[in-house]
Amino acid sequence: MKAACILCDQPFTPEPIQQKKLRKHPHRLFLCPACNHRITEQVFARRKEQPKENEPRT
């Protein structure tokens, strides 16, 4: 089964669990592994920069 990434429009073969989800819910959108990795790194970097809610700001 082939799927297309919603960000880069590159075709990729999803993992078996993603394939099952795509068959059951074809309206779902998935990212290719490269885009998923890139976005995950950006999210973790942003979370490290933000102060925690319980800590007082200086």
Query: pTM score > 0.75 for this model?
Result: no
Per-residue pLDDT tens digits for 14-57? 889 988 988 898 877 888 999 999 999 999 999 988 777 766 65
Residue in the structure block whose two tokens are 């078996």: 16
- In residues, how long is the chain? 58
DSSP 1-58: --EE-TTT--EE---HHHHHHHHH-TT-----HHHHHHHHHHHHHHHHHSPPTTSPP-
| Residue-level pLDDT at 39 | 95
Q: Phi, psi at residue 12, to the nearest 5°?
A: -150, 160
| Residue-level pLDDT at 37 | 95
| Residue-level pLDDT at 45 | 93
